[in-house]
Structure 1
Amino acid sequence: MTIKCKVKSIQSLASNTYQILLHPEQPVSFKAGQYLMVVMGEKDKRPFSIASSPCRHEGELELHIGAAEHNAYAIEVVQLMRKALEKQTDIEIDAPHGDAWIKEDSERPVLLIAGGTGFSYVRSILDHCIAQNKANPIYLYWGARDESQLYALSELEQIAAEHKNVHFIPVVEETGKNWQGKVGNVLQAISADFDSLADFDIYIAGRFEMAGAAREQFTQNKQALSERMFADAYAFI
């Protein structure tokens, strides 16, 4: 369904990463883990995960867009949003989309995996689980190039401190002098931490190659069930 939205705000989260708040002209019904399409043209719609959770979004839709210099696909969307904010004009979205939403009836432990701004996808799921008082163990692994890209680090550390069933494990590829956490590839960090993933529901957001590698590695080496692995990428690879 195509819906007009006002751009309420654009804030920098990290270098080349932006939080965009949209106010749709009518309520958007979606599930935690779904995405929307920003309408750039009649045949040009670009997908972005909804970072808000369906139970606590107060009529607004939050996006996290990584728009590095080489990523014209995302930069053009941010430019569209800035123009709409400046001129107070509407943008159009097509929503909701995606089948990789949280399976609320499952009591299995949850493994959330994000690369970069894929965090917006797992943030929606995590926030929804907390709001619904789900007691399942939840492990959130967030991989980034360096600590500066972990723009919600303190927020997630606080959530994990307040909820005994939530475990947050950040992983960076490049370390600063004060970094005390895990270093390297996020999938390798998970493989090192778990002997088996047979009992887990696994939710993944990142590049297609990352999602593909996770499915291959975890089903072959960690007894993960492919039917209990969820990612929008799996509709395309």
Structure 2
Amino acid sequence: MTIKCKVKSIQPLASNTFQILLHPEAPVAFKAGQYLMVVMGEKDKRPFSIASSPCRHEGELELHIGAAEHNAYAQDVVNAMRQALEENGDITIDAPHGDAWVKEDSERPLLLVAGGTGFSYVRSILDHCVAQKKSNPIYLYWGGRDANQLYAKDELTQIAAQYDNVHFIPVVEQAEANWQGKVGNVLQAISQDFESLADYDIYIAGRFEMAGAAREMFTQNKQALSERMFADAYAFI
């Protein structure tokens, strides 16, 4: 359904990455892992994962938008959000969308995989599982170009320390001298850490080519079940 929202705040999370809080004029029912579409025109709707979880969002919808200078697709949306905030205007969204939500009835361990701002997708799932006191083992791998891109690293480290079933593994392509995590490609890091993924429910958010590579790599080399791999990208590739 389409619904008008007020833009409550826009805050920088990292270089060219913004947290945007929207307040819809009526509650939006969604599942952890779904996305919304920002309506830019009659035939121009742009998808962004909902970073808030359905059980702890207090009526607000949180987005994490990566809007690098060369990315006009996202930059236009951030600019429209800024204008609405400054003028106390409205932004129209179409929500909810997506079939890659968390399967709450599953007792299988979860592998959450994010590239860049794909983190917003797995953040919603993680927060929902923690709030629901689910005891399934949860492994969250987040890959970025460098440590600065992993803007919620401290928050995730604290969550992992607080909950025995949550494990956070950050992966960067370019490491500084004091970096404590893994270095390289996030999918390769997972392949090195797991002998088999046959028992896992796997949730992935990142570029389409990353989701495609993960499905090929994990099903062929790690016994993952394609029907237990979930990503919005799989509806298109």
Which TM-score tier does this pair reach, normalised by the shorter chain? over 0.9
Aligned residue number for residue 130 of structure 2: 130
Distance 1:177 1:109 in 2: 33
Aligned residue number for residue 175 of structure 1: 175
CA deviation after TM superposition for structure 1 residue 136, in Å: 0.1
CA deviation after TM superposition for structure 1 residue 154, in Å: 0.4
Mapping of residues 29-108 of structure 1, within 5 Å? 29-108=29-108
Distance 1:236 1:151 in 2: 28
Aligned residue number for residue 22 of structure 2: 22
Alignment RMSD (CA, Å): 0.3
* Partner amino acid, structure 2, of 1:142: W
Distance 1:178 1:65 in 2: 28
Unaligned runs of 5+ in 1: none
Distance 1:176 1:182 in 2: 11
Distance 2:174 2:185 in 1: 10
Unaligned runs of 5+ in 2: none
CA deviation after TM superposition for structure 1 residue 180, in Å: 1.3
Whether 1:218 aligns to 2:218 is yes
CA deviation after TM superposition for structure 1 residue 177, in Å: 1.4
* Partner amino acid, structure 1, of 2:40: M
CA deviation after TM superposition for structure 1 residue 29, in Å: 0.1
Give the TM-score normalised by structure 1: 1.00
Deviations 1:120-171 (A, max 9, x none): 0000000000000000000000000000001000000000000000000000
Distance 1:40 1:89 in 2: 14
Aligned residue number for residue 116 of structure 1: 116
* Partner amino acid, structure 2, of 1:118: G
Count of paired positions: 237
Distance 1:146 1:213 in 2: 21
* Partner amino acid, structure 2, of 1:129: C
- Secondary structure of residue in 1 paired with 2:210: helix
Distance 1:41 1:176 in 2: 43
Aligned residue number for residue 11 of structure 2: 11
Distance 2:224 2:82 in 1: 42
Distance 2:28 2:128 in 1: 16
User: Identity percentage over the alignment?
Assistant: 85
Give the TM-score normalised by structure 2: 1.00
